[in-house]
Structure 1
Amino acid sequence: MSRAALDLLFLTPSGETLPSVRFRVLPFVDLGRARGLAVDWRRAPKAIHQRLGFLLTLPRARVIVIQQKLFAPWELSLIRRRCQTLVYDVDDALWALHPAEIGQPGSAEKAAKIKARFAHACANVDLVIAGNDYLAGHARETQANIFVLPTLLDTAKYTPAPPDAHGIGPFRVGWMGTSGNLFFLPEVLRQLSPHRERLDIRIVSDHAYEGELHEMVSFERWSPSLEVDQLRGFEVGLMPLTDDEYTRGKCGFKILQYMACGAVPVASAVGFNNEILTHGQDGLLVRQPSDWAAHILALAGDRDLLERMAQAARATVVQRFSLERMAPELWRALGL
């Protein structure tokens, strides 16, 4: 192979607003350049007829990291020719269908296809970077070289709001996420419905919530420039999940954002959520539907408890999930 043009190239499935790109790619592009490395990223076209030209004209790199994208085997072969080391970065259960897709027309065929592509991708790279141990376990079925790296947060940017007049007005409960995950909200709203007069329930997303009990919530469109202030508007942050193969692969990043910005997370006791949170110390885990209301009302009724848990939540993120503290681990794993 001729001399590589880049030290590191990331290939992504979408643009810079996709959370995995924003937090598992772009910060490392900036940090790598600050280290004196030649680092870049490219978004892979969605259209199959555009991808051949894209792949044939990729710059050569010492290391190429494929972030999430399930390329076909022939595409993976072309990428392999452009680098010395090929890496697959995964922070979702890419081999599993989203719960909302299960049972839909064509879902069985899609499930078989993505499972096969995930196995092939893991088997044909030099390293898999997994966002948690559950993902690592599945990758390990076809790949021995695994590095576990949670999704990290810039804790100098994601910070709590200055102290204000807490306790005035309804208790602020929030959910932030992409619209595909609004699917998980109805159960929470059903549990909170009898207490709606005490709560200000806020949804921040790319599309408004129009499901069951939509009249209970206020909507604010997500914006990258406003995101930190939107998070600071929550006193409690919600992360409801079903318990299935797809959700066990989640890396809990929503929880980390809440924690960094001073909101106490109340989250389903599913998958990596259990590893992030110490129940009763830096967040509250929901094991049965009635826990949603019980946990939120307990925090709403005890300002001292809320503030102690918010401080502990912030400390957990800084100690275990901060970009500054953990980024050197990635450079070592990549050999850069």
Structure 2
Amino acid sequence: MSHKVLVLTKYGSLGGSSRYRFYQYLPYLKSQDLDLTIAPMLDNDYVADINSGKRNVGKILSKYFQHLTRLLTDRDYDLLWIEKEILPYLPAWLEKLIAGHIPYVVDYDDAQFHRYDLFPPKIFRMFFSKKIDKVMANAKLVVAGNEYIAQRARQAGAKWIEIIPTVIDLDRYSLKSSTTPGEFFNVGWIGSPPNSNCLQPLQPVFENLYAKYMCKVTVVGAGNIDLGKSDLTIKDWYEDSEVEDIKNFDVGIMPLRDTPWDRGKCGIKLIQYMACGLPVVGTPIGVNQDIIQHGVNGFQATSLDEWNNYLSKLANDPDLCREMGVKGRAMVEASYCLQVTAPKMAQLLKSSI
């Protein structure tokens, strides 16, 4: 018997969180007797606008109410599979009313609760600071991307919590070829414009690496960014080319700030780098502490001196880069790939109906 599931994503497939937490699972889940209907609140045109710095408020409101109308009229489902919340800035009690008798699974790959309990004005927090807690408490199942999110779900009184990391599809990722002797060492980062500000504090490191070793810096998806006197290449992000772009890096980096929001990140950059056989360097905050095995598949760096020392070490030791890259790829194959998590996700959804 096929179970009907309405998949309520925040974005279309170009939105990173929706792509990794939902869209890439669809082919496998459909093969497991799950009849999935996907309904993004904001489509790929919206994602493209945001990445190019555009924001059409009228278009957003139109999508918002179209989404709400569908939810109120289309009720023939056994389960709702929700990304973060049904609709942003809608009270939790109203979301529960909309869901009605249909059980729901809610998924988080970041600390969405901090968008309500930390960032908005104080008067807004009075009404919405506990919204996500209530969404979690009312869910049949909360799927958390890491322990930080799972801990919040426990505090909220969620009845059932499972941790599934954000992963990649191994079929899309292959190991990079060996670096040709004499080529410039390429320090790489991939992400989106809102997250690129984490690179600015590393400007002195990039400048020093360029001055001493002629190291390059390549950023993919960052938009316009100035990193001082470094050999900087800025590339637009495209789904079809992201893997090849990463394979052109020699090391992948993931700097973070010590904030509640960054503690809730799921480390997908690190997973992408490691899937291509790259060593990684990142700030030991949140899930980065679990993914980066210091001295094994990469380095955990806190100070600018540590960033400079570890990147310099890798720039001068291609054998170490290869050794760390092999171990990183093995870790992805064991724990951070779709081939491992998709069967578990299918079982969780079926058990929630």
TM-score (ref. length: structure 1): 0.89
- 1:36 matched residue in structure 2: 33
- Measured after TM superposition, the shift of residue 234 of structure 1 is 0.8
- Measured after TM superposition, the shift of residue 109 of structure 1 is 4.7
- Give the direction of change, closer, same or farther, for the CA distance of 1:223–1:90 in structure 2 (3 Å limit): same
- Measured after TM superposition, the shift of residue 290 of structure 1 is 1.4
CA offsets 1:32-91 (integer angstroms, 9 cap, x no match): 1122321121112542443431221335222211112363225413442262x2111011
- Give the direction of change, closer, same or farther, for the CA distance of 1:121–1:273 in structure 2 (3 Å limit): same
- 2:309 matched residue in structure 1: 294
The answer to whether the 8 A contact 2:2-2:33 is kept is no
> Aligned partners of 1:273 and 1:188: how far apart in 2?
18
- Give the direction of change, closer, same or farther, for the CA distance of 1:236–1:204 in structure 2 (3 Å limit): same
The alignment yields a C-alpha RMSD, in angstroms, of: 2.3
Could you tell me which of 247, 251, 254 is aligned with 1:239? 254
- Give the direction of change, closer, same or farther, for the CA distance of 1:200–1:212 in structure 2 (3 Å limit): closer
- 2:45 matched residue in structure 1: none
The answer to whether the 8 A contact 2:216-2:230 is kept is no
The answer to whether the 8 A contact 2:41-2:67 is kept is yes
Could you tell me which of 11, 33, 40 is aligned with 1:14? 11
CA offsets 1:110-145 (integer angstroms, 9 cap, x no match): 555553221121122111100011100001112131
Q: Indicate whether 1:175 and 2:193 are aligned.
A: no
**Greater fraction helix:** 2
Secondary structure of residue in 2 paired with 1:43:
coil
- 1:120 matched residue in structure 2: 134
> Aligned partners of 2:183 and 2:33: how far apart in 1?
50
Number of aligned pairs? 325
- 1:26 matched residue in structure 2: 23
> Aligned partners of 2:31 and 2:148: how far apart in 1?
32
- 2:100 matched residue in structure 1: 81
The answer to whether the 8 A contact 1:192-1:292 is kept is no
- 1:18-167 to structure 2, matched below 5 A, reads 18-44=15-41, 46-47=60-61, 48-69=64-85, 71=87, 72=90, 73-81=92-100, 83=102, 85-97=103-115, 107-109=121-123, 115-142=129-156, 143-161=158-176, 163-167=177-181
CA offsets 1:253-294 (integer angstroms, 9 cap, x no match): 110000001221110010101111210101111122211111
The answer to whether the 8 A contact 1:44-1:54 is kept is no
- Measured after TM superposition, the shift of residue 302 of structure 1 is 0.8
- Measured after TM superposition, the shift of residue 28 of structure 1 is 1.8
In structure 2, stretches of 5+ residues that fail to align are: 43-59
The answer to whether the 8 A contact 1:96-1:114 is kept is no
- Give the direction of change, closer, same or farther, for the CA distance of 1:261–1:127 in structure 2 (3 Å limit): same
- 2:54 matched residue in structure 1: none
- 2:206 matched residue in structure 1: 192
The answer to whether the 8 A contact 1:155-1:323 is kept is yes
Secondary structure of residue in 2 paired with 1:66:
strand
In structure 1, stretches of 5+ residues that fail to align are: none
The answer to whether the 8 A contact 1:248-1:271 is kept is yes
> Aligned partners of 1:286 and 1:112: how far apart in 2?
38
- Measured after TM superposition, the shift of residue 196 of structure 1 is 1.5
Q: Which amino acid aligns with 1:94?
A: Q
- Give the direction of change, closer, same or farther, for the CA distance of 1:217–1:31 in structure 2 (3 Å limit): same
The answer to whether the 8 A contact 1:70-1:121 is kept is no
Secondary structure of residue in 1 paired with 2:166:
coil
- 1:275-286 to structure 2, matched below 5 A, reads 275-286=290-301
Secondary structure of residue in 2 paired with 1:156:
helix
Secondary structure of residue in 1 paired with 2:19:
helix
Secondary structure of residue in 1 paired with 2:111:
coil
- Give the direction of change, closer, same or farther, for the CA distance of 1:151–1:214 in structure 2 (3 Å limit): farther
- Give the direction of change, closer, same or farther, for the CA distance of 1:165–1:238 in structure 2 (3 Å limit): closer
- 1:197-216 to structure 2, matched below 5 A, reads 197=211, 198-205=214-221, 207-209=223-225, 211-213=226-228, 216=231
Using the aligned pairs only, state the percent identity. 27
